[in-house]
Every structure is written in structure tokens, then in C-alpha cells.
Amino acid sequence: MKPQTCRQFTLAARPAGKVKESDLAIREVEIPEPEDGEILVHNEYFSLDPSMKGHMEDRSDYRAPLQIGDIMAGRALGTVIKSRHPDFYKGDQVFGFLGWSDYTITDGKRIPVHLYRPSVNPEAALGVMGGTGMTAFFGLTRVGEPQPGDVLVVSGAAGATGNVAGQIGRVLGCHVIGIAGSDEKCRMLVDELGFHASINYKTEDIGEALDKLCPNGIDIYFDNVGGDILNECLARLALHARVVLCGGISHYNLEQKPPGPDNYFNLVFRRAKMHGFLLSDFADNFDGARAQLQSWYEGGELKQKSTVIDGFTSLPQALVKLFDGYNVGKMMVRND
């Protein structure tokens, strides 16, 4: 009988500018058997994140870069189908950096995995309670230091991290303004997620819109895009404002670094701070943050927004779409 096989996507080429489907190659291997102390996980949902491009380009400063031929790195959620590990059982549902593979072998340490409650929607486990939700939580609460009444502006607000950051800001009493790239996304932010206002950066003059919506300045700017939007927000900071540097998707597809913002010196005039961070900075507090996010989610204060594409072989196409701004909320692929 022919052995069952496992599909895997590997890095075929380092992206030059925009990510292409041809940067990844598919292969099939035999499904391995777990040894003592290991588990075999069937991966069911794959998370798509902008940071993946950094791993592909050999320029990541916070995770070992991929080498040509390596399995594409990424978070996934799946079910333990075989276990020879004392802490995991067949049927357990786990998530972690399991990679772009139908099946993954791990001892729980070499590739750290975490149990999650089966009652939790798997999309929420990867989204609002996963890496993007945790990033939004720590970026806003620890770096942004929100206070009730603060004016919070979020760019990339319809994306995976931005929509959660804005919702958390609303829960904590901020006046939240989201910047997104379509009228549909802008309506969703206000009508479904409770943002107080939104700006379509493709059809509106961002500076004029910010002047109207933030007449007394911006107390917190949660930046997911960089570029011109960052520059416009820097020009409109309130006294003692906080700028949270989370991402810069506006330049991820560029072959050369763009020039820095012209208005950065307003940080001095407004006695403001601009602070970058990584999720791993707060690893000691993950459990408490996840519990808080779960409480808000189960209480209806946070909503999960997802764009789910079906089929393992659609993973490269989904990654390209992520950088084209196709997604609303968390982009993920559901295995077939």
C-alpha cells in the first residue's frame, strides 16, 4: 500500500520587492512517525502575517531567517493525531509555529505549541486570542498607555492587528479613529467594531480628515503601515502623545527603503515618544494577556474578523493577497 504523503511549501527564492507565488515550491514527503516524547499534529488553519516576508528575505531581526529549501515558517492550528508525549493526548488542539505543512512533528519545545480550548472558534484562536491579538494588546496597553478619553488613531485598521487594537482602545475608553483602504472596510470599522470614525486613505485627504476628526491632536497613534500616513499623524500629535510602531506594510513590497518621515521632529515639540516593540518582549505575560482577551471576546466586547481561504495549495496566493490588502481582519487558510 502506498504510504500517505504530506504536502509542504518550501522557500524557493528570496522575494525581490513584492512576494510572488513562485517564491514558494510545493513538495510531498512521507508522513513521519512520532518518536518517544513527540507528537504528530495535523495542521488545519494557517495564519498569514506580514512578518513572513522578513523571514523569506533573510532580514528578520527577531527570528532565524529561512534558508532556501526550508519549510515556510508560520503559525498554524491543528489537532494531535498521534502522541508519544506525556503532556499531550490524541485529539488535543494546539497552535504554534508549525509551518506550512499538512503534518508537523514536535516535542513541544523544539517547535513550541500551546493547547487551546476546543470551545473557542479556531479563527479566534489564531486571531483575536492569537499572535495578532496579543500584539495589539501589548502594543496598545504597554506602549500606547491609553487613558479614558484619549484620541486613538489606528492605521491598517481593517487588518488583523489593527482591528483588535482599535477594539481594545474602545473597550478602554478611547475615542477611536481607523484608517483603511475602502469604503466597505471603513463602514465595517464603525458599524461592526464600534470605532467612532474612519478614514478611507485611498479617496480622502488624510491630513484634512485628521484635522476634522482630531481637532485637539492625536494622543495615541498605532502605526501598522508607516510611510505617508505615519508622517501625517506625526504632524498632528497632541502634547505627550505616544506613537506605537507595530508594522510598516506600506513599504514591504518596495525593493529599497523609503525616506524617513519629514515630521519626526514634532516628537520634540510635543514632548511625545515613538516606540517600537516586538511581541516577544512580553513573553512573561502571555498567559494573563490571553486570559484578558478571551474574557473580552467571550463577553462580546471584542469581535473576530477573518478572511479565510480554503485549500492548502492556495497558501502562496493567499500570502500575495495579504500584501495587496485583500483581507478584512485576520487572513488565514483552512486546510482541505
pLDDT, position 1: 34
CATH fold of 5-127+304-334: Quinone Oxidoreductase; Chain A, domain 1 (3.90.180)
- Using 50 as the pLDDT threshold, list the residues of the chain that sit under it: 1-2
pTM passes above 0.85: yes
Domain with CATH 3.90.180.10 in the chain: 5-127+304-334
List, for residues 47-73, the tens digit of each pLDDT value. 999 889 888 987 655 667 899 999 999
List, for residues 212-269, the tens digit of each pLDDT value. 999 999 999 999 999 999 999 999 999 999 999 998 765 665 556 667 789 999 999 9
Of 170, 190, 160, 165, the C-alpha closest to 305 is 160
Q: Which CATH class is domain 131-280?
A: alpha beta
Using CA atoms, how far apart are residues 313 and 336, in angstroms rounded to an integer? 9
Domain with CATH 3.40.50.720 in the chain: 131-280
CB 209 within 8 A of CB 202: no
Instruction: To the nearest 10°, report the CA torsion of 211, 213, 217, 222.
Output: -110
Taking the chain, what is the end-to-end CA distance rounded to the nearest angstrom? Answer: 23
pLDDT, position 2: 43
